[in-house]
Amino acid sequence: MRSFGRRVLGALVAPVLVAGVLATAGCANKDERTLTVFAAASLTESFGALGTAFQASHPGVKVKFNFGSSATLAQQIAQGAPADVFAAASPATMAQSKAPKSRVFARNRLEIAVPKGNPGHVAGLKDLANPSLKVALCAPQVPCGAAAVKALAAGGVTVKPVTLEQDVKATLTKVRLGEVDAALVYRTDVKAAAGAVEGIEFPEAGKAINDYPIATVPKTRQYALSREFIDLVLSDEGRRVLSGAGFTPV
Amino acid sequence: MAAVLSARLVVERDGFLLDVSIEAAAGEVVALLGPNGAGKTTALRALAGLVRLSRGEIVLDGEAIHEHPAERRSVGMVFQDYLLFPHLSALDNVAFGPRCQGTPKARARDQARDWLERVGLGAHLHARPRELSGGQAQRVALARALAVRPRLLLLDEPLAALDAHTRLEVRAGLRRHLEDFGGATVLVTHDPLDAMVLADRLVVVENGAIVQQGSPAEVARQPRTDYVARLVGLNLYRGVAAGHRVTIAGALTLSAAEELSGPVFVAFPPSAVALFRTRPDGTPRNTWAATIAGVERHGDQFRVSLDGPLSVSADVTAAAVADLGLLPAQEVWVAVKATETHAYPA
Amino acid sequence: MRGRTPWGLAVPAVAGMAFLVLPLAGLLVRAPWPTLLVRLAEPRVVEALRLSLLTATAATALCLVLGVPLAWLLARAAFPGRGLVRALVTVPLVLPPVVGGVALLLVFGRNGLAGRWFAGVFSLPFTTAGVVVAEAFVAMPFLVISVEGTLRAADLRYEEAAATLGASRWTVFRRVTLPLVAPGVTAGAVLCWARALGEFGATITFAGNFPGTTQTMPLAVYLALENDPDAAIVLSLVLLAVCVAVLAALRDRWIRA
C-alpha cells in the first residue's frame, strides 16, 4: 500500500511542476500595457530615445525593445514571436517577417570606419583593396553586408576581408578594438560610437542606400499603441532623433 | 653472517608511535608477527620507502637508504592484495621492474618468462591479472618482486588473501623460493603457521614496540605476552617464583617443575588441564575451584574456558563433556600437573 | 525489483527524453528532403564541415596536452591556492562564450596584452589557429574536470607498487597512472570534442567568420539562417549526423573505467 501511494505521488509531481512553470511564465500585471518593438541593431540608440519619449507621453505604458539582426528578428516574427512593431534594416528582411504593409521611415548609408588614429591610413574605398590591410565587412546575408557588396561593386573595388561578421555592431566592435584597419558600417554606427572610431565618407555609398521600413506586426495585441509608436517615429520629433543619429529621415 | 639489513624505524603518526629495530642477515627470513594495528605493516612500508621515518635509519648492505625514495631502494615488495597492474599481462607485470632498471624490452620479457616458469606459471604468461586465481596472482606478485633482484624482499601478509586449501600449497612454494633467495627477507603476518613455517626468526610487535624475538620454536615454547600465548595455544601467566612455588597475581600459588626465583612466566597447554566434579585428591599439586565460562568445539575436542582465580582454557573430549554434563556457570575443580607446566624467567 | 521503474522516475524521464529528442525530430521533419542531395554537394557545406572537424580535433589535442597535466596538478599536488586555481579553471564554463571571445581578443588580439608582442610575426584572430584557440578555451574545463575526477578516484596503491619496482615519478605517470585513467581521459576528450565542435560565440568573436578559414559549421548555420533557413537546416543535419556517428562509434568500454 505504501509503495502505491508513493507511485501516485510521483506521477503527480512532474505535471504539477510543469504546470507551475507555465503559469508563472504567463503572469503579467494587467494594469500595465507593454509595447514590444523588434528593431534592427543600428536603431538601438535612436529608438531607445524614442521609447523613453513614448513612455513619458503614455503613462502606464512600457516599451520593450529587442534589438538585433534584422533577419533573425524577421524569422522570429514569422514564427510567431510576440512583437507589436517591427523596424527592419532592409525591405528584404521586412518581407521575411511576412508583415503585409510597411512604410520606409529612414535611410542609412555606409561609411568606412577606422580605429582612432587611422593606423591603416585609409582615405577612400579604393584603399580597402590594399592586401596589407585587415578589413572587416558584414556578411552578405545581412542588410549591411548586402549594401557593402553593392557599394564595392559600384566602386569597382575588390576587397578580401578577414571576416564577415553576423551583424553591424559586431563589425564595429572589431574596429573599436583595433583588430582590423577598416570596416564598412553604417554612418549611424560611426556616430553612435561617439569618438571611439573615426568615420570616412565615400561617394560610392550613395549607390547602396539602405531603406528602413517599419510596420505593425500582423498578430499584435496592441494595435492602437503600435500605430501611435509608428506615428511618433514618423513625426517631427522622430525625424529629429533619427537625423541626429545619422539617418536620413524619409 | 654479517647483517645485510640493520634498521631502526621510528614513525610517529596520528598519535601512534612505532619504534622497532630490525636486523636481518643475507638469506634470513624475519617474520614480524603481531595483532592488527601493532604497526607491522607500517614498519614494512617504512623499509620500502612508502612511509617516511620520523627518526632512525635504515642501512642495507652498508648503504644508508632511509633518505632515498622508494624507487631508488633495492627493495622488492609483495603486497597483501598483490597489486598486479590490471592493464598489463602477467609477463609484462614481471617485466615492469627490469624495464624500469633500464633493461631493453625484449630482454626484460625473457627474464620475466624465466621467473614465471620458475614459479610454475609458464602457461599463463599472457593472462591478465583478473583472469588469474588467487594462488596464481600471488606467485606472479612474488616473481615481479624478485625480478628486480632486490637485496631486501618485503612481504605484506603474503597468504592472507588465500583460502585455507590454497594457502597450504602456496606456503610450501613460498618457502622454497625464500630459501633460494639470497638477500634478506622481512615478512609481516598475523598467522602463526605462516610464521612457524616460513621464518628463521620471529619478531613479535605489539603497540608499536617489540615484545619478543627469537626462533619460532623459542617463541612458541616461551611466550612472553598474552597475544603470543593465545597464538600458540598456551595458557600463560606472570608471577613471582620462590623455588618451585610461583605466586600469580597474589591470588594463587602454583607448583612448577623448574626451580627459579624472581619474576617468571608460567605456561601450560590446555591439554594439561583436567576437570573434576569434586575436589580431587591425588598427585596434581595445582588445583582450584573454578566456574565454567564457555564451552566451544575445538577440532574434534572441546575447549572449556574457565573463570576463577586464574582464567584457564582446558581441552576435554566430547565424551567428558557429556559425562560430566559441563555447562556454563557450573562449578568444577581444575587440576594441572606441575610436570606439564613450564616456568621461565620473565 | 529489476526492470520495474517507479512512476515517479519514469514520467520525468520520458519527459526529459522527449524534451531532448523532439527538437531533433523537428529538424528531420522540416528538412528540405527534395533538394537535400544538391545542397549537400555545395562547396560551403563541405568546407565548413572539414574546418569544423579539423579545428575541433586540434582543439581537443591542445586541451589534452595542457589539460591532463593541469588535472594531475589539481588532483595530486598540494600547493597554496589550489582551490582558487580549480575555481578559475571552471570559469570558461560559466562565462558567456562571446565574453570569452572578447577576453581572448583583449589578450591575443593585435593590440592585446600578449598579442602586441607577436603581432608582426603571426596573428591569431581571423585565422584557423584562432578558431582552435577559441574552441580550446571553452572546451578545456570539461576535460580538466573529468580527468581530475578520475585521477582522484584512481587507486594510489598501484603507483606505490610501481615505485617499489624502481619506476621514477615520470615512468609511474606514463606506464601506470595514465593507462589506468585512460577511460576517464577518453570520456573527457569526447566531451571536449563535442563542446568544441558546437562552439559559436567565442569563435565568431575572436576568430571572425570567413568561409574556408574560420567559418565552422555553427557559424555557417547561423548565417544561413539569415536568408535561407532551409540551408541552415541542412547544415544542422550534417553536423548532427557526424556527431551521432562519432559518438556511436565510441565503444562503451573505452569510456567507462
Per-residue pLDDT of A232-249, as tens digits, reads 999 999 999 999 998 998
* B75 contacts chain C (CB < 8 A): yes
> CA of B162 to nearest chain C CA: how many angstroms apart?
20
Asked if the model's pLDDT at residue A58 lies above 80, the reply is yes
| Interchain CB distance below 8 Å, C205 and A141 | no
pLDDT at C77: 87
By Cβ distance, the residue of B48, B81, B87 closest to C164 is: B48
CB pairs under 8 A between A and C: 87
Phi, psi of A142 (to 5 degrees): -100, 155
Confidence of residue B203 (pLDDT cuts 50, 70, 90): very high
- What is the per-residue pLDDT across A136-180, written as a single tens digit (0 to 9) for each? 999 988 888 989 999 999 999 999 999 999 888 889 989 998 899
Percent of chain B with pLDDT over 70: 99
Kindly state the cell numbers that stand for A41. Answer: 541593431
| Interchain CB distance below 8 Å, B48 and C180 | no
Confidence of residue C68 (pLDDT cuts 50, 70, 90): very high
| Interchain CB distance below 8 Å, C15 and A9 | no
Residue length, chain A?
250
Residue B298, H or E segment: strand B286-298
pLDDT at C251: 67
By Cβ distance, the residue of C11, C102, C209 closest to A139 is: C209
For Cα atoms B334, B338, B343, give the angle at the middle one, nearest 5 degrees: 115
* C178 contacts chain B (CB < 8 A): no
Asked if the model's pLDDT at residue A2 lies above 60, the reply is no
| Chain position carrying cell 504539477 | A16
Strands A210-216 and A85-87: antiparallel
Confidence of residue A17 (pLDDT cuts 50, 70, 90): low
CB B267 within 8 A of CB B240: no
* Interval A187-205 mean pLDDT: 88
DSSP state of A201: -
Kindly state the cell numbers that stand for B178. Answer: 625464500
What is d(CA B72, CA B95) in angstroms, rounded to the nearest whole number?
18
> CA of C187 to nearest chain A CA: how many angstroms apart?
31
Confidence of residue B310 (pLDDT cuts 50, 70, 90): confident
Is pTM beyond 0.90 here? no
By Cβ distance, the residue of C7, C209, C228 closest to A164 is: C209
| Choice among A7-16, C164-173, C188-197 with the minimum mean pLDDT | A7-16
Asked if the model's pLDDT at residue A10 lies above 80, the reply is no
Q: Within a 13 Å sphere around the CA of B18, how many CA atoms are in the beta-carbon half?
A: 28
* A78 contacts chain C (CB < 8 A): no
pLDDT at C240: 86
Asked if the model's pLDDT at residue C45 lies above 90, the reply is no
What is d(CA C11, CA C28) in angstroms, rounded to the nearest whole number?
25
* B311 contacts chain C (CB < 8 A): no
Confidence of residue B77 (pLDDT cuts 50, 70, 90): very high
| Choice among B42-46, B112-116, B170-174, C73-77 with the minimum mean pLDDT | B170-174
Phi, psi of A197 (to 5 degrees): -130, 165
| Interchain CB distance below 8 Å, B100 and C158 | no
> CA of C2 to nearest chain B CA: how many angstroms apart?
27
By Cβ distance, the residue of C164, C168, C176 closest to B75 is: C164
Between helices B134-146 and B164-180, what is the axis angle to 10°? 20
CB B202 within 8 A of CB B192: no
Mean pLDDT value across chain C: 89
Residues 6+ apart with CB under 8 A from C1: none
pLDDT at C252: 67
Q: Within a 13 Å sphere around the CA of A247, how many CA atoms are in the beta-carbon half?
A: 25
Percent of chain A with pLDDT over 70: 88
What is d(CA B89, CA B87) in angstroms, rounded to the nearest whole number?
7
Confidence of residue A8 (pLDDT cuts 50, 70, 90): low
* A12 contacts chain C (CB < 8 A): no
**Which residue of A lies nearest to C8 if distances are taken between CA atoms?**
A10
For residue B144, the chain C residues in CB contact (below 8 A) are 165
pLDDT at A20: 54
* Interval A117-138 mean pLDDT: 91
What is d(CA A42, CA B241) in angstroms, rounded to the nearest whole number?
110
pLDDT at B1: 45
| Interchain CB distance below 8 Å, A179 and C111 | yes
* Interval C134-139 mean pLDDT: 96
Query: Going by beta carbons, is chain B in contact with chain C, meaning 3 or more pairs sit under 8 Å apart?
Result: yes
For residue C180, the chain B residues in CB contact (below 8 A) are 86-87
Between helices C229-249 and C178-197, what is the axis angle to 10°? 170
* Interval A191-218 mean pLDDT: 89
pLDDT at B260: 86
Asked if the model's pLDDT at residue A218 lies above 70, the reply is yes
Residues 136-175 of B with CB under 8 A from C: 144-145, 148, 154
What is d(CA C128, CA B231) in angstroms, rounded to the nearest whole number?
74
Asked if the model's pLDDT at residue C159 lies above 90, the reply is yes
Query: Going by beta carbons, is chain A in contact with chain C, meaning 3 or more pairs sit under 8 Å apart?
Result: yes
Asked if the model's pLDDT at residue B108 lies above 90, the reply is yes
Candidate ranges B249-263, B318-332, C191-205, C222-236; pick with highest mean pLDDT: C191-205
pLDDT at A27: 46
Residues 181-240 of A with CB under 8 A from C: none
| Choice among B7-11, B167-171, C7-11 with the minimum mean pLDDT | B167-171
By Cβ distance, the residue of C6, C109, C214 closest to A163 is: C214
Which one has a higher pLDDT value, C2 or B243? B243
Mean pLDDT value across chain A: 86
3-state DSSP call for residue C244? helix
> CA of B93 to nearest chain C CA: how many angstroms apart?
10
